[in-house]
Structure formats: structure tokens, C-alpha cells
Amino acid sequence: MDQYLMLILLALHTVAVACFAWAAVMEFEQRADNDVVRVKTGYLGIIEQKDHLADEKKQLQAEADRIFQMFELTREVTATFDEQEAFMAFREHMSRFLTVEDCQMLEHFPQDFNDFPLFKGYKFFPLRINKMVLGEIAYKGMADADEEAFTVLVHQFALGLRRIRLYHEVENLAITDGLTQMHTRRHLGERFEEEFRRATLRQVPLSVLMIDVDHFKKVNDQYGHLTGDMLLRAVARIILEHIREIDIAGRYGGEEFCLLLLDTDKPGALVVAERIREAIHAKGIKAYDAAIRVSVSIGVSSLPDDAAKVEELLDKADWALYRAKRSGRNRVVGFSVYPPENINPG
């Protein structure tokens, strides 16, 4: 009986041990499964984070490329003060980064494409700074994916183009007389030196006209300085209408003007001077409520007939003007000899 009981107890113990062992194995397997799931989840998280970082890297690289493009374009465009050179730099830069068949710059948007058959099929993008339109970019054959980058590059080019035009506006203000829109005396002197050297080197003629408005002080005294200013503007306009684009006109002082006639000998210069004198004398100038008829006196000197130096050529034109004043005004006098008198004609 005791042996039978011992066998039963031993069997129960064996079963209990087996149960505990099975439970331990199951718990271990569960833990192992949990660890596998956790590791797998962590791995997937790492993969996802890696993909996210790769996307961020691509975005950062694209942004860096965009910034670099803008920097390069700005550097290239601002390296010149010539609009055409700036556009060529823009177009070359754009062709390196974007897909585009053709690109042109226009001053204005074509209203009638019949007048612009070459631009049929093009798209147009305004060169705009705030509300100011500087022109249009005509382009075709651009990939849709490049449109956004193109917009950014065009804006950078517009900024550069505005800078170039501002520079020329400031430069023009510095060399232009505000009243007459002729060159200032300082700029006229610089151009005189340049053209004198060119004429001497090439052995071609150069003529100088000194023009003075007769009795201008009386106009100011009788009608006032505002009327006098309008008179000077009108005289300057007539002078500019009777010279070529290559000739150089400047306001020399008060009511006095100086012209440089390039590649023009003394006989030709005397013809131009007489044409200017006649045009001014024949035209009644209306200033406010006053209708004024004025005349001018003109002195002429020429290279190489009269002088071999800049100062001498200018001085002899001034002496010829003096002779015109002394001879009764409203006339043209070419330099011949210095007058013996030294009387201010007024």
C-alpha cells in the first residue's frame, strides 16, 4: 500500500514538474515572441526614420541647389551694367538647370501676335518688381516640373535688371542738366577730351560751337526767371533737333551752350551753326502768357584748322562768339584771328 502511494505521489510530482516546465517554456516563448515583435517594430521604425531623413535630405539638397542657383544668377547678372549682357547670363544660367526650348526678353507684351509671328506658341512671364513691369520673358518648351524654379529665377533676374536701370538713371542724372536735358559742363568737358584725342589720333576734323542767347538778361528782367527757364528749355530743344545723334551738346553756363560736332570741318560746322541760328530766330517761343522772339550768337572753331589743343580750340570758339556779339549779335562767326579789343560784349 505504501509503495502504491509512493508511486502515485511520484507520478503527481512528475506531472507537476512537467506542468511547471511547460508553463516556463510557454512564458519564455511568449517573451521571445514579444522581443521579436519589439525588435521588428524598432527596426521598422528605424527604416521609416531613415526614409524620412532621406526625404528631408533631398528637400534640403533641393533648397540648397535653389539658393545656389539664385546666388550664381545674382552674381552673374550683377557683374554687368548692360541689360543685354545680363539677360544672356540669365538665359545661359537657366539652360544649365532647367529644360527649356527657347527664351527671349521683350520690352512689352505683344498686343497683336500678327505683328510677332515668331512668338506664337510662347508663354509670357512679366518682369515685375512690386507694381513696376520692366518687360516680359517669352519662353516655350519648358517642362512643367521646372515652372516653379523658373518663377524664382525670373524674379532674381528682374531684381538685377531693376538695379541696372537704376544705375543708368542715376548716371544719367549725374551727367544731365536738369533744365535743358543737355549734358552738364563737367561731362561735356570729359567728352571733349575723349573726342579731341580720337580726332587727333584718326586725323579727322572736330568742330566746336559756342552758342549764347542774345539779351537773355533783359528777358529775365522783363518776364521773370521762370519764363527765362522756359525760354532756355525751348532753345535747347531746337538745338538738339538740328544736330545728329553722334554730336554732343551741353549747357556751358547760364544761357550759353556748347556743341561738339564730330567728324565735321569748319565749313560744315558753319552750315550747322547757321541752320540753328535761323531756326531759333524764326520760331516765336511761348512761355506762359508771353510770346518771345529771341536770337542767338554763335562762335565756331575747328580742329585742325584753328588749334592743336583742347583749351585752345575752346578758347577760339569763345573768341569767335565774342566777335559775333560785338558785330551786332544774331549771327555766326568762325574763328579767324584774335580781336585786338578786350571788351566784354555783355
Three-state SS at 264: coil
Residue 346 lies in a domain: no
Residue 52 lies in a domain: yes
Q: What is the CATH number of the domain that holds 91?
A: 3.30.450.40
Instruction: Please indicate, yes or no, whether residues 48 and 168 belong to a single structural domain of this protein.
Output: yes
- pTM assigned to the model: 0.62
Instruction: Please indicate, yes or no, whether residues 135 and 214 belong to a single structural domain of this protein.
Output: no
- Per residue in 27-59, pLDDT (tens digit) is 777 777 777 777 777 777 777 777 777 777 776
Overall domain count for the chain: 2
Is 255 part of the annotated catalytic residue set? yes
Report the amino acid identity of residue 55.
D
Cα(249)–Cα(234) distance, integer angstroms:
14
Q: Backbone phi, then psi, for 277, in 5-degree steps?
A: -60, -45
Among 108, 141, 175, identify where a domain stops.
Answer: 175
- Which of the residues 255, 311, 312, 341 is marked catalytic? 255
Instruction: Please indicate, yes or no, whether residues 191 and 230 belong to a single structural domain of this protein.
Output: yes
Residue 339 lies in a domain: no
Instruction: Please indicate, yes or no, whether residues 218 and 328 belong to a single structural domain of this protein.
Output: yes
Residue 23 lies in a domain: no
- The predicted pLDDT at position 183 comes to 92
How crowded is the C-beta side of 124, counted as CA atoms within 13 Å? 16
Among 175, 209, 231, identify where a domain stops.
Answer: 175
Instruction: Please indicate, yes or no, whether residues 240 and 286 belong to a single structural domain of this protein.
Output: yes
Residue 201 lies in a domain: yes
Residue 152 lies in a domain: yes
C-alpha distances (whole Å) from 102 to each of 98, 121, 139, 143, 212 are 11, 11, 6, 12, 54
Instruction: Please indicate, yes or no, whether residues 196 and 107 belong to a single structural domain of this protein.
Output: no
Instruction: Please indicate, yes or no, whether residues 169 and 196 belong to a single structural domain of this protein.
Output: no
Residue 22 lies in a domain: no
Q: What is the CATH number of the domain that holds 229?
A: 3.30.70.270
Instruction: Please indicate, yes or no, whether residues 296 and 200 belong to a single structural domain of this protein.
Output: yes
Residue 91 lies in a domain: yes
Cα(195)–Cα(207) distance, integer angstroms:
10
Instruction: Please indicate, yes or no, whether residues 194 and 302 belong to a single structural domain of this protein.
Output: yes
Tens-digit pLDDT string for the chain (346 aa): 566 667 666 666 676 767 777 777 677 777 777 777 777 777 777 777 777 777 777 766 765 565 566 556 666 666 777 888 888 888 887 777 778 888 888 887 666 555 556 677 788 888 888 888 888 888 888 888 888 888 888 888 888 888 888 887 777 777 888 899 999 999 999 999 999 999 999 999 999 999 999 999 999 999 888 899 999 999 999 999 999 999 999 999 889 999 999 999 999 999 999 999 999 999 888 877 778 889 999 999 999 989 888 999 999 999 999 999 999 999 999 998 765 554 444 4
Instruction: Please indicate, yes or no, whether residues 253 and 214 belong to a single structural domain of this protein.
Output: yes
Q: Residue ranges of the alpha helices (H) in 98-146?
A: none
- The predicted pLDDT at position 168 comes to 79
Q: Which domain holds residue 217?
A: 185-334
Instruction: Please indicate, yes or no, whether residues 102 and 218 belong to a single structural domain of this protein.
Output: no
